[in-house]
Amino acid sequence: MLKTLDWIIISAYIIVIVAVGLMFSKKAGNSLSDFFLGGKNLPWWLAGLSMVATTFAADTPLVVTELVGKNGIAGNWLWWNMLIGGMLTTFFYARLWRRADVLTELEFISIRYSGKEATYLRVTRAIYIALIMNTLIIAWVNVALMTIIEVFFGVSGNILLVVMFVTMFFAALYSTVSGLIGIAVTDAVQFIIAMAGTIILAVIVISSDKIGGISNLKASLPESAFNFFPKIGGKGTVGVLSLSVGSFLAYGLVQWWASWYPGAEPGGGGYIAQRMLSTKNEKHSIFATLFFQIAHYAIRPWPWIIVGLAAMVLYPQLSEDELRYGYVYAMRDFLPVGLKGLMLVAFLAAYMSTISTQLNFGASILTNDLLVLFKNNKKNQKELVKWGRLFTLLIMILSIIVTSKVNTISEVWMFMFECGAGLGLVLILRWYWWRINAWSEFTAMIVPFIFYALSKFVFDLEYPVSFFVTVGGTTISWILATFVTKSTEFEHLEKFYQKVNPQGWWKPFGNVSENRNNMLYLTGAWITSIVLVYSTLFGIGKLILADFKSFLIYLSIIIVDFFVFYFFVKKAKVFEN
């Protein structure tokens, strides 16, 4: 299936990526800050591109194809809704994360909370994030790439797992050698390759004789498949997302603040926090996060969506469980020699950008939040970097084992989504309410698993009822834990307040009325930025689908909203250090 030219393109890509890793190896080995945060000197555009590249994994186009195949364009609201929380991070948390000046998001626990409970929380979350959640994330990304390898190379079983291991090894190789700076640079290259590949595929598929352009595509599918918004309440029609009132409330009004989810953590966190911490200063942190939200939600999805719609016409025989294969079949059936190799490179790029970040992120936690925490005075920086590289390989091996046990991407997605329900509000409020303590966060992390088990295995509840039960039970539990336990020591809180200068409910340490107006302006910037990105997303979609009247309406909204957004941003002094 692949010709010599395809293999040359794939080989050249691998050589370039490894070369980049070697290029930054010396700089990355000097200290933990250099290895895990790129020396805290990344410009906003590089940090932002790295965020976008990381969220573009091998599974992403496949998942979007599946969502479109089941529910039309509106099916994407199952992830589009996360923009609300993402913009919250941009305007309320990006500056604070950079001020915190920590190496990892879990080191934040030690500067925010005090006592042995802070240590217990930091260690528990290190194991929870680095060895459990992180390996699950890598596993589902592996499963997606294995789908592509299986279709293109016809391998399966143990042979497929070996091929997967070799592919992952290359990602681990440059991760361990180059550290975050090398990962960020390769992310930028990989994102450009991946986007170019998906755009080329979309153009070729739509222009093919079997589709015949956008107008023929629209004529070949039900009108409901092109709806941008779901049907709320009642029964939907075939090809359009229909949400019950409960599901709409869960997705639209609760999920974005209540659930911990990789890449969309309320208040920032994970590799998003790592990139914010790696920027030059607060302004670069905000710009990087804002760029990420715009690119992730408004610019990048349409090539995937268009191929997903085309796959509905091209492969009507696919069952609901096989819809994700539509994207891979389109690659196989429509790309000529050379472009087929380029598209595989695009998927390798998407895969490696995600895997390298997750490996580096997980290793940073094991190194800084376990090893350094207990062996702080016994190891120098260069020795700690060596441990970071060993932890990278350890996580790779564990992830391969977990991958062999995972059957579908959706089962991991739903498990993580529901088991993080209720934690999000604590992650938001810990920056803005002094009374939140380590026991609040510890309770909010553990209790969702209890309610998830009760909902699924005892009371046999389905989503969204199970989700509301978990969120409600977790919220009540952590609020009770907050008030029945002692607050963080005032001296410790005073140091945190002076270092980070948070706004909100910090009356014991500052004048709350002084920042009330700024909070209002930030809220205005947050809301108008959401409108701006959604309008851009829908405007681009209408332009692609040749609905020029609707495009002009969205363009008008964008222009008006931009000036209102600029007013709030200027008043809130968002981009001033």
| Assigned token pair, 30 | 């000097």
- Average pLDDT of span 404-416: 68
Q: Is the pLDDT of residue 131 over 80?
A: yes
pLDDT of 84-110, one tens digit each? 999 999 999 999 999 999 999 999 999
Q: Are residues 160 and 286 in the same domain?
A: yes
Q: Is 29 helix (H, G, I), strand (E, B) or coil?
A: coil
Q: Is the pLDDT of residue 121 over 90?
A: yes
Q: Is the pLDDT of residue 251 over 70?
A: no
Q: Which of 191-195, 240-244, 314-318 has the highest mean pLDDT?
A: 314-318
pLDDT of 507-566, one tens digit each? 777 655 556 678 899 999 999 999 999 999 999 999 999 999 999 999 999 999 999 999
At 28 the pLDDT is: 66
The answer to whether residue 484 is domain-embedded is: no
The answer to whether residue 429 is domain-embedded is: no
Task: Using a cut of 0.85, tell me whether the model's pTM lies above it.
Answer: yes
Tokens 């490696």 sit at which residue?
A: 352
Of the residues 405, 422, 453, the one at which a domain ends: 405
Mean pLDDT (the chain) is 86
372 versus 153: which is more confidently predicted?
372
Segments of 192-341 assigned E as strands: 231-232, 242-243
The answer to whether residue 504 is domain-embedded is: no
- Cα 346 to Cα 335: distance, rounded to the nearest angstrom: 13
Angle between helices 465-484 and 409-419 (to 10 degrees): 40
Region of poorest pLDDT, from 83-87, 243-247, 341-345, 385-389: 243-247
Q: Are residues 520 and 389 in the same domain?
A: no
Q: Are residues 394 and 541 in the same domain?
A: no
- Average pLDDT of span 232-242: 56
Of the residues 343, 377, 405, the one at which a domain ends: 405
Tokens 């302004």 sit at which residue?
A: 283
The answer to whether residue 473 is domain-embedded is: no
At 49 the pLDDT is: 93
At 123 the pLDDT is: 93
Peptide bond into 464 cis (omega under 30): yes
Segments of 178-247 assigned E as strands: 231-232, 242-243
Phi, psi of 279 (to 5 degrees): -80, 165
Length of the chain as a residue count = 577
Confidence label for 279 from pLDDT (cuts 50, 70 and 90) = very high
Confidence label for 407 from pLDDT (cuts 50, 70 and 90) = low
What does the DSSP assignment read for 489-552? Answer: PHHHHHHHHHHH---SB-TTTS-GGGGHHHHHHHHHHHHHHHHHHHHHHHHHHHHHTT-HHHHH
At 236 the pLDDT is: 45
338 versus 470: which is more confidently predicted?
470
Domain extent, residue 215, equals 4-232+271-405
Q: Is the pLDDT of residue 235 over 60?
A: no
- Cα 134 to Cα 423: distance, rounded to the nearest angstrom: 17
Q: Are residues 389 and 527 in the same domain?
A: no
At 83 the pLDDT is: 92
Quick one: how far is CA 454 from the chain centroid? 28
CATH code, 105:
1.20.1730.10
Confidence label for 238 from pLDDT (cuts 50, 70 and 90) = very low
519: CB partners within 8 A, 6+ apart: 503, 504
- 119-133 in b/e burial notation, b at 16+ Cβ within 10 A? bebbbbbbeebbbeb
Q: How far is CA 553 from CA 302, 523, 550, 560, 565, in A?
A: 19, 25, 5, 11, 18
Of the residues 405, 436, 460, the one at which a domain ends: 405
The answer to whether residue 179 is domain-embedded is: yes
Report the number of distinct structural domains present in the chain: 2
Quick one: how far is CA 303 from the chain centroid? 19
pLDDT of 146-162, one tens digit each? 877 887 777 777 777 77
577 versus 62: which is more confidently predicted?
62
Region of poorest pLDDT, from 77-86, 176-185, 279-288: 176-185
At 547 the pLDDT is: 94
Q: Is 421 helix (H, G, I), strand (E, B) or coil?
A: strand
Tokens 């170019």 sit at which residue?
A: 196
Name residue 390's amino acid. Answer: L
Burial class (CB in 10 A: 0-12, 13-18, 19+), 174: buried
Q: Are residues 226 and 88 in the same domain?
A: yes
The answer to whether residue 195 is domain-embedded is: yes
The answer to whether residue 418 is domain-embedded is: no
At 305 the pLDDT is: 96
Q: Are residues 397 and 546 in the same domain?
A: no
22: CB partners within 8 A, 6+ apart: 174, 177, 178
The answer to whether residue 252 is domain-embedded is: no
570 versus 249: which is more confidently predicted?
570
192: CB partners within 8 A, 6+ apart: none
239 versus 172: which is more confidently predicted?
172
433 strand-pairing partners = 505
